[in-house]
Structure 1
Amino acid sequence: MIPEYIHDFELRLKYIFREKYNIDQISLERGLPKNVLEEIMAERPLAAAIPEIYGGRGCQVRECLGILAAASYESLPLSLTFGINIALFLEPVAKYADPSLRPEIFKRFLEQQNMGGLMITEPDFGSDALNMKTTNKTSTDGYHIKGTKHWQGLTGMADYWLIASRNQKDNGDLSRDIDFFLCDRTKAGQQIVVEQYYDNPGLYMIPYGLNQLDIHVPSNYKLQPETTGIKMMLDILHRSRMQFPGMGMGFIKRMLDEALAHCQQRNIGNSKLIALDNIQFQLSRMQAAYTICSAMCVRSSQISGINHNLAAEGMEANAMKTVVTDLMQECAHLLVQLSGANGYRTSHIGGRGIMDSRPFQIFEGSNEMLYAQIAETTGKMMKKHKLRNLIEFLEDFPLTQRAGEHFRKTLSFEIEENLPQRKLVDLGKIIARIICISYVLEMQDKGFREDLIKNAITTVQQEVSALVTLQGFNNSNQVIEDYQSNSSWLEMTKSF
């Protein structure tokens, strides 16, 4: 049963975006109109991520994912706005911020519609966060933070920021650990200068840009890690990745609902579009995505609360993030394809969905990098247990053992040592999908409908079979940098 709080929010969003305002028009504008945002935030959706002691609803992952799903059904950018606030600010504050700061922060979120974000990425250090150059130095009244950050969602819009930096020692060297600090833009000495706003081609509602930091914050604005700052960063990022299924859930369901409605209504000759075999195949893939994402939401609700430390849970976090974002992008493409020419419009939710969902495969770690990490981690575990055969490992590994029997024949092969990166990526895709089918089977135990479960398993079996073929195919092609020499097609036609 859907919690009443989330159900009411769904109805309110539907009214705001479909009756009172035109979401198709709003989505083509930069930023979200202030009056629309105020109406949405008046429902206090972010209360889900605030502890009860401070007037919130208790930081229940189930409710946080429900809010994200409700938002993404109507607007993926709105859901990402909530996701940034929940996973990258409110939850870290609830877990790591000085207790003396929490009452004011949470009160402003609940009563003044404040927002917060996270600054990690730098122009010269994207995924290489451990080499960031933003510095912090102790001063007489706290810390002086200086550096450059970019591609932060809610640039120039957030009231609060969590800023990652490295301590600068007296000799100028930077610490290997990472420190995080709160920044309150309403306080003197904590203003962040936005040098440039980026022209992001999707997610128009969310401002991104280049930020210059030269701020001073009090000593108690430093977050307090349980062990090290790096592990705190991993805990934050892994929890965020485990909440991607919430954003994916509503989006995938909307793509599926729109596709089903179109195919049921569209006539082709004497029959409906949905009667065609290939249309059934495409729609079944969207339904498989719906089932897999549902299973991720169930799993995330069990394991990703702030009472858990997720620093060491990279395998699950990466599997959830990569697979759900691949599914989001595929569902958007399928809806556009099924919709014909009408889908190829920015005012169409499918066409817009392609651009809005695409960066999800890039930010918080590109999918190719995360798939490679999954494969590398698997290889290390197999080597430790002196195993070479993939299915032997997967049927014994806790995250995949439930699903192993469904892939026994396909995955009964030996993993080569020193795989090239391109094969590591494909191997990571296989393992991530097996992990997700284990989630699906666990959800089946809770009573999820059998036909959707079977659909998802068959869909992933087909996909894994194709990926296994790539493992055995020898492709070591390298780029030819001077390719323009002797490669003009016009030269090939001069004798015609």
Structure 2
Amino acid sequence: MLLTDLSFSEFIHNFENTLRHLFREKEDINQLSLERGLPPAVLSEIMSGVPLSVAIPVQYGGRGSIVKECLGLLSAASYESLSLSLIFGINIALFLEPVAKYANEGIKGNIFQRFLEQGQMGGLMITEPGYGSDALNMKTFNKEIDGGYQIKGTKHWQGLTGMADYWLIACRKENGDGELGRDIDFFISDSHQEGQKVLVEEYYDNAGLYMIPYGLNKLDLRVPPTHKLEPETTGIKMMLDILHRSRMQFPGMGMGFIKRMLDEAIAHCTNRMVGAGNLLAMDQIQFQLSRIQTAYTICSAMCARSSEISGIDHNLAAEGIEANSMKAVVTDLMQESAHLLVQVSGANGYRISHIGGRGIMDSRPFQIFEGSNEMLYAQIAEAVTRQMKKQKEASLYGFLKGFALTAQACDYFRNNLDVQINGALNQRKLVDLGRIVARVVCMEYVVALQAKGFRKDLADNCIVMMQQEISSLMSSFNARNEVTVVEDYSHDSSWLQFV
């Protein structure tokens, strides 16, 4: 039977059953999550169902690179294991989709065949030790040589370090004078080919996501010309398209994780008796669980929106506001949901073998990698204030009302958004403003999903909770705070001197 002969509901049902059997019956996910790496036998059984076929075009034997299916797979995986979901997310958004869109036609078939038949994996190398988010100044370079290109440099914090068979490597062209060009090139390396194997110099002791190896990679590779990606315009725009598409798939990883936090919290609070009633009868518990349910609703709406706009047939290079909003908001919600589950679980939650306690550590780096959330919020605010200035619009509400991404949702927050923005904002204010705008953008997704028939009670509850959150964020934005750190604080600051 061909993979495409299975309906997606059958395909994902089989996948969910495999994970449930492996992680709850055959193995103990609580123990697996504390081990470095994923046991080969477990990984082999997971890959036997060819889950990554969702990101491979039909003409190469895959299921078609349909965003809905990719997000559904990520969600099903993250319900059982956030680490496993990230493994798939790296393969899908940071390797298979870029290859499908930008790789030379002559090499696609072999790569996709090995993913489908041999369960191979691929990742992306951008980050360097001295240049984290400053990707445009990376020092890894490429230069033309006989028979192709030489690539030299150092990369680190790549998920699947030492585990991936293929790497998509970002670098800059070395010009004749030894200087590096301003544009970004991407090359595919195949570890099975001579001269293309990445040398792992060190494995990092990452505090969470134990299943995924991270480390320091040394590059001195030689690749044929066919292994260079072919941008539609510039390499920088290709990189933005790749990263924005990846950020729009974060809701898939967030969806199953948040649902699991919610299910565990409801089950615990229903069964945990305190006095004459259970925890669920307490008002504060209702508030805390409503926060997780709000995250569930927002993430559902993000997945629906991403399914409509983030396929490889779309160019997302200019869609920074939506991509950054999805990534930053959903990862904030993931971290908060894990914290809330731990809080209502009491002492048992403060165990690394508890899914909530483990969830705090596993979801925390999501707020950092692929652009720290503070940076992304600042970029959102900069984009908005730039457009406001161009339109000569000082009213935040006035701008958002005329902005396609917020036109409907902003009415629910009018009292808070009715402020004037005049002049330049410092960085901390940009971050505050970005947090606000990103949440209004995400509420636009909720309004749109509810109009399609999504549960009205969940959408209404979500609006009320977000009204409270945006009110709090706006208070922070309006407050005057120019406090800076006192670097030589030790002098005259020991309390022992004053007692």
TM bin, normalised by shorter chain, reads over 0.9
| Partner of residue 264, structure 1 | 270
Among 22, 45, 51, which residue is 2:28 paired with?
22
Of 332, 350, 353, 1:347 maps to 353
Whether contact under 8 Å (2:52, 2:92) holds in the other structure is: yes
Alignment match, 1:239: 245
Which residue of structure 2 aligns with residue 323 of structure 1?
329
How far 1:416 sits from its partner (Å)? 3.3
Letter in 2 for 1:44: V
Q: Which of the numbers 77, 92, 101 marks the counterpart of 2:98?
A: 92
Match of 1:426 in 2: 432
Alignment match, 2:307: 301
Match of 2:67 among 26, 42, 61: 61
Residue equivalent to 1:111: 117
Match for residue 150 of structure 2? 144
CA distance in 2, matches of 1:415, 1:290: 32
Per the TM alignment, residue 164 of structure 1 is displaced from its structure 2 partner at its CA by 0.3
Matches of residues 66-465 of structure 1 in structure 2 within 5 Å? 66-465=72-471
Distance (whole Å) between structure 1 residues aligned to residue 158 and residue 399 of structure 2:
39
| TM-score normalised by structure 2 residue count | 0.98
One-letter code aligned to 2:187 = F
- Deviation string 1:231-253 (CA, Å, 9 cap, x unpaired) is 00000000000000000000000
Q: Aligned equivalents of 1:59 and 1:350: distance in 2? A: 32
Q: In structure 2, what residue type is equivalent to 1:137?
A: K
TM-score by length of 1: 0.99
User: Given the superposition, is the C-alpha separation of residues 416 and 181 from structure 1 closer, same or farther in structure 2, using an over 3 Å criterion?
Assistant: same
Shift of residue 361 of structure 1? 0.2
**CA apart distance, 1:96:** 0.3
- Name stretches of at least 5 consecutive residues in structure 1 with no aligned partner: none
Counterpart-to-counterpart distance in 2, 1:304 and 1:282? 32
State how far apart, in whole Å, the 1-side matches of 2:13 and 2:382 are: 42
Secondary structure of the corresponding residue to residue 211 of structure 1: strand
Residue aligned with 1:101, SS: helix
Shift of 1:170: 1.1
Matched to 1:391, the amino acid is Y
User: May I ask how many residue pairs the two structures share in their alignment?
Assistant: 493
The CA deviation at 1:17 is 0.5
1:2 deviates by 6.9
* CA displacement, residues 66-123 of structure 1 (integer Å, 9 cap, x when unaligned): 0000000000000000000000000000000001101110000001010000000000
Letter in 2 for 1:209: G
Matches within 5 A, 1:7-18: 7-18=13-24
Q: Aligned-pair distance for 1:186?
A: 0.3
2: CA distance, partners of 1:416 / 1:355: 40
Show the counterpart of 1:481. 487
Give 2:344's aligned amino acid: L
Match of 1:264, SS state, is helix
Q: Deviations for 1:264-313, whole angstroms, at most 9, x for unmatched residues?
A: 00001110000000000000010000000000000000000000000000
Three-state SS of the structure 1 residue aligned to 2:124 is strand
Q: Distance in 1 between matches of 2:8 and 2:98?
A: 26
Q: Sequence identity, in percent?
A: 67
Report the alpha carbon displacement of residue 432 of structure 1 after superposing the two structures with TM: 0.2
The answer to whether the 8 Å contact 2:56/2:112 transfers is yes
Write the letter of the residue equivalent to 2:194: A
What 5-or-longer segments of structure 2 have no aligned partner?
1-6
Q: Contact 2:8 / 2:69 at 8 angstroms: preserved in 1? A: no
Instruction: Report runs of 4+ in structure 1 exceeding 6 Å deviation.
Output: none
Residue type of the partner of 1:357? S
Deviations 1:35-71 (A, max 9, x none): 0000000011100000000110000000000000000
Deviation at 1:328? 0.1
